[in-house]
Chains A and B, each alone.
Chain A
Amino acid sequence: MDINVYLFIVIALMLLIIMYLLFVLRRVRTQLALIKDALEDIKGGNLNRRILAGENDMTKTICYDINKIAVNSQAQLIRQRQSEQAYKRLMTSLSHDVKTPLASLVGYLEAVENKIVIGEEKDEYIHVAHEKAHYMKSFVENLFEWVKLDSGEQIFHFEKFDLNELSRNIIADWIPVLESNHFEYEFVIPETEYFIHIDVNAYTRVLNNLFQNIIIHSAGDKMALHICEDIQQAKIIISDNGKGIAPDKLPHIFERMYQCDQSRSAKGNGLGLAIAKELISVHKGTITAENSSDKGTVFTILLPKAL
């Protein structure tokens, strides 16, 4: 009697265990089928495919790892595609940006060459042609610099420099330019020394681009540069009293080839700010722009003291 009961219990237990195992086996089987399916898809190039796993699934870590691989290679692919597209865009706008000034340059020179204009008018034509040639020169230079930066070919030399002294030197070159463009200016730079790891050429370039930007685009007549520093970082604020930047345009001004005027008018080349941003980010810093509360635009650069 007793033995029979025991036997019955044991058999019932074993049956239960077998049923449970069968159940688990089935579950794992369907999961394996799902994984196989998804792997086939991923192998075929669909890096978007994910395998879903429940919390207690035996295959959970495998599924997550496969997903991780797909996510990573997809991210890489997307980055690559993005830079290809950007490059294509660059080439198209490049061809337009060179074609237009080139055409008008040829127009001016032809008029001189064919003696359509004489005397004072001729001199003026030559002057305009000269300006246009200069514009194109700086455009092409900018463009090459940008491409170099973008492809990571630019090599930087970081050295310990006094940011305040360096800034004063750069500004000194701009004072005559500001005066000839009828700009009032104000510079507030601490008298103390502030040593920072910096690439002198890159920093100079950033300030140059911002100054140029103000002179060409702001349509104001006052500008200011303030530097304030603490233990961690230096803050460089460059502001003008010009027309400001339309709020919907503001988020895009650091994108390359973005100019606020829908059509590309002769001045500026839509690269200056993009280059500035890239150079600042090499220094692990940030550059932002906002419209000041009363009038004009404020550019703020943050540079960390230690790289």
Chain B
Amino acid sequence: MNKYVIETKQLTKTYGEQTVVNSVNIHVKQGQIYGLLGRNGAGKTTIMKMILGLTDITSGEVDVFGQNIKGREKRVYPRIGAIIETPGFYPNLTGTENLEIFAKLRGTAAPNAVKNALEIVGLPYRDKKLFSKYSLGMKQRLGIANAILHDPELLILDEPTNGLDPIGIAEVRDFIKTLSIERGKTILISSHILSEIALLADDIGIIDHGVLLEENSMNELQKRNSKYILLQVSDIPKTSLVLERQFGVTEYSVQDEHTLRIYDTSLDMAAVNKALVVQDIAVISSQLCNDTLEDYFKKITGGEGIA
């Protein structure tokens, strides 16, 4: 079921002495949003460019749709939609006219392709406004409309929310999410903003200085991101009674026969342990989970953090 739409094997890019991408293996699953997270200059764009054949691969391989891309470019690229940096639109034409040119060049998958693409990103169809008069947000939207014009299976979006205001960011995030959930698109997206990736991605790859530090599912990472006290005890009903009566705790949940999660992390655990022992309840373990994603990224990037 979860076959990889993109898989890179030891993907490397060097410019002279400098290695900008170093043996990166990323695995983008079908129908998922994969977030490449890293600071500016970490190598995210270079990876995307190598996947799209916009820059040469120094060494390593790229498989797209389950096969090595080499020699199959002409067949593969029509199935991908991408925005890498600012797309080249004609400034003296309207958005609709620009897209119509691209539709003619690439072919379309359905009638009214231009109209539909504009609708998805929330731009007016057949508007008189010239591209040169577009705001940054509108330009980004048109870029995305162009990327989805031919209804591709795979979208590669390099910092699609760059330069947008907060409302614009939320809107773009929403329709990227919709494309994935309601249309089953596979999406590779890059960002240097942790919170943005956290809201969007199913899987995440963290790039730092050209090296993939970690690749994991967002769910797995979120688990490490919660604040709670994990309490393992011999008797759950008795423990919940002690918590409620003696400590006034209402925010807790029972995980299984012996495990409780308490969401109030300011609780005095020494006192709780003591009270439990007095009641003849064995405390097997109590553990404070207090990690935030931010802390975690700081840890794995070696203290520098991301965002």
Contacts and interface: CB of A to CB of B under 8 A. Distances in A.
Please determine whether chains A and B interact with each other in the same assembly.
yes
B269 interface: no
A50 B250 contact: no
B80 to A, nearest CB: 12
Please indicate which of the listed interface residues B151, B152, B185 has the most CB atoms of chain A within 10 Å of its own CB.
B151
Interface in A22-71: 37, 46-55, 57, 63-64, 67-68, 71
B252 A48 contact: no
B150 A100 contact: no
Contacts of A52: 78, 106-109, 150
A-B interface, 8 closest residue pairs, ranked by CB to CB distance from nearest: A107-B241, A52-B107, A107-B237, A106-B237, A263-B263, A50-B109, A104-B240, A48-B153
Interface string B184-217: 1110000000000000000000000000000000
Interface string A193-221: 00000000000000000000000000000
B151 A50 contact: yes
Contacts of B111: 64
Contacts of A50: 79, 109, 150-153
A96 B240 contact: no
Interface in B219-276: 228, 236-241, 244, 250-255, 261, 263
20 contacts: A37-B75, A46-B153, A50-B152, A50-B153, A51-B109, A52-B78, A53-B108, A54-B107, A64-B111, A67-B109, A77-B184, A96-B254, A99-B253, A100-B240, A102-B254, A103-B236, A104-B244, A107-B238, A107-B241, A263-B263
A292 B253 CA distance: 33
B101 to A, nearest CB: 12
Interface of B: 30, 75, 78-79, 104, 106-111, 150-153, 181-186, 228, 236-241, 244, 250-255, 261, 263
B272 to A, nearest CB: 15
Contacts of B228: 263
Interface of A: 37, 46-55, 57, 63-64, 67-68, 71, 74-75, 77-78, 82, 96, 99-100, 102-108, 110-111, 261-266
Nearest to B242: A107
Contact of B184 (A57, A78, A102, A263): A78
Nearest to A67: B109
A71 to B, nearest CB: 8
